[in-house]
Amino acid sequence: MSQSGIQKSIESVLRETRTFAPPATFSATAHINSEQQYEAMWNRAKDDPSGFWADMASNLDWFRRWDTVMQGHMPDTKWFVGGKINACYNCVDRHLDGPNRNKAAIIWEGEPGDTRVLRYQDLHREVCKFANVLKKLGVQTGDRVTIYMPMVPELAIAMLACARIGAVHSIIFGGFSADAVADRNNDAQAKVIVTADGGWRRGKEVPLKVAVDASLDKSASVEKVVVVRRTGGDVDMIPDRDFWWHELMEDVSADCDAVPLDSEHPLFILYTSGSTGKPKGVMHTTAGYLLGTTMTTRWVFDLKEDDTYWCTADIGWVTGHSYICYGPLSNGASVVMYEGAPNWPDEGRFWEMIEKYRVSIFYTAPTAIRAFIKWGNHWPEKHDLSSLRLLGSVGEPINPEAWMWYHKIIGQERCPIVDTWWQTETGAIMISPLPGITATKPGSCARPLPGVVPDIVSREGQSLGPNEGGLLVMRQPWPSMLRTLYGDHDRFRKTYFSDVPGCYFAGDGARHDEDGYIWVMGRVDDVLNVSGHRLSTMEVESALVSHPKVAEAAVVGFPHEIKGEGICCFVSLKSGDGDDALKKELIGHVRNSIGALATPDQIRFAPSLPKTRSGKIMRRLLRDVAAGRESTQDTTTLEDLSVLAKLRADEE
């Protein structure tokens, strides 16, 4: 969003004045239950981060205590230097000594309705065995393993098995295409890939192994492929390269010690879109990430012994990494995991599952909430949702009306809502209401958590006052921040630390109000937020331009009722006029190059694209055209004014 875009959003959200105090019954038992407690924690973490985080670190199990809590300065900080720890041990083994041994760790449901419950001791056995499988396949500490799977328990088992032996997992969301998998395999130089024959989505098989096979023609580093039998679909198994999960698991022992790893040992790489260039391999390390996710799960979701917790994200995104796997399991939670679509076999699936498992904490995304609203209140109304005590939202700004619907229809005006702001790069939730103390305002993610010191600044880096829109930055390092972009530390420094000197900045615009509540207003760079997932306009443009008929393309977002932002592509062809058949072909081409999540909503052909005299595409103008707005932008530098008129004439 441009600076003037920010100003516009401020005007539109300023009208929100409703506040919702936490229910007294909730506050009475909350982990953080008074304003004084929050303020004391926040101030201590700001003034004495080493002391604060050292205290927090006693919530983890260590093989060796650290020597130094925090070393270095932004952007290059290290945490718990000298400590030895293992994330898998903290998520699994440490729960085996007490009553949690027989507690459900993962309550899984497949889309067809099959179910599986893994108690902590079952999870331990499966993880140890798969860790031994990885070792047998030649995976060593530090090697990268790609995981490209449906939402089945083996996905969590595979990631924890990597963590157990210090292999670095790189999980790729199952909706990405073969090309995207190949790019990520190559960038990470992955040695092994773990996949499945396929997964279920709206009653259809999503073929994953076929995509893996295609990716391997272009990614030579991968030596072995492990395939989970899920759908029973036909797959080609190449001898000595491809192995069935269930066969490998038959001949390994269930004993495998967790390796004591340096605190700063890499835990995973997760690729995310940036405004320029290829996807960024965000790298997180072990101790700081684990501490961030463990503490925020406790603070924000107020997790208790008897909660049943459900985060509907896919583990292929950071939300699933942090709040299906590491955070909740480290806290010994019972986690619901679901394979399929929310509207299969009908639009009541989520509410049916909440009733069936007596889910108490439910964490989902605004795009899903907007779809629930569209499907109608009669779906949730058919089910008993009285087990719910807390609701969460993540991925994009939640519009106040969606917030109110969530509050009334799902929360039945009883459940606090935590609107959690964070990013792949931050590893853990940064800004969020604390459900026991925060009076929530629909559309605001409220205040920073302890250890998070945000500011809102102008492009020149000046702190701004209440209700002035600016860039959301972090002034202090925090334990779960990304450490680098895999293989490109220079890009890491430039991307996050060069816009506002001395601060971390990852692309969002925001304002704070007179109560210190933060209102995030969306991206200020060329990154789209489609259904809560980041997608770079540049990646979609490169996919389009790789089609032989396309000369040039410009991609912008436009407001979309369900997805938040839709994808609008302006395309100029090498010759001839475009027609509907070519539109379809280009849509298919983008899906094949990136994946279904990047499917364009609109393709508009234009004889040329509007550019400034210096040759830059005027995206702001295109955004106005895509949104059907009259442009208020200055067009004096437009190279060819007639181009704009032509683009408008092509409006559908």
> CA of 633: how far to CAs of 3, 13, 397, 469, 623, in Å?
12, 22, 25, 19, 11
Give residues in contact with ligand PRX (CB under 6 A). 272, 318-319, 394-397, 419-424, 445, 506-508, 520, 522-523, 529, 533-534
CB of 313 to ligand PRX, least distance (A): 8
Closest residue by Cα to residue 593 from 532, 541, 526, 533: 541
Measured CA to CA, the distance from residue 140 to residue 295 in angstroms comes to: 30
CB 1 within 8 A of CB 509: yes
- Collapsing DSSP to helix, strand or coil, 101 comes out as helix
Phi, psi of 38, rounded to the nearest 5 degrees: -60, -50
Q: Report residue 292 as tokens.
A: 């961030």
Residue 146 or 272: which CB sits closer to ligand PRX? Answer: 272
Measured CA to CA, the distance from residue 42 to residue 110 in angstroms comes to: 41
Concatenated DSSP letters of 155-212: HHHHHHHHHHHTPEEEE--TTB-HHHHHHHHHHHT-SEEEEESEEEETTEEEE-HHHH
Q: What 3 state SS string does 460-516 have?
A: CCCECCCCCCEEEEECCCCCCCCCEECCCHHHHHHHHHCCCCCCEEEEEEEEECCCC
CB of 533 to ligand PRX, least distance (A): 6
Residue 128 or 524: which CB sits closer to ligand PRX? Answer: 524
Q: Report residue 49 as tokens.
A: 């981060």
CA dihedral of 243, 249, 253, 255, whole degrees rounded to 10:
100
Neighbours of 615 (CB within 10 A): 7
Residues 6+ apart with CB under 8 A from 45: 52, 53, 450, 451, 452
Q: Is 468 exposed, middle or buried (0-12, 13-18, 19+ CB in 10 A)?
A: middle
HSE-CB for 392 with a 13 A CA cutoff: 31
Residue at token pair 């499988």: 133
CB of 279 to ligand PRX, least distance (A): 12
Measured CA to CA, the distance from residue 317 to residue 171 in angstroms comes to: 8
Angle, vertex CA 491, rays to CA 277 and CA 183, nearest 5:
45
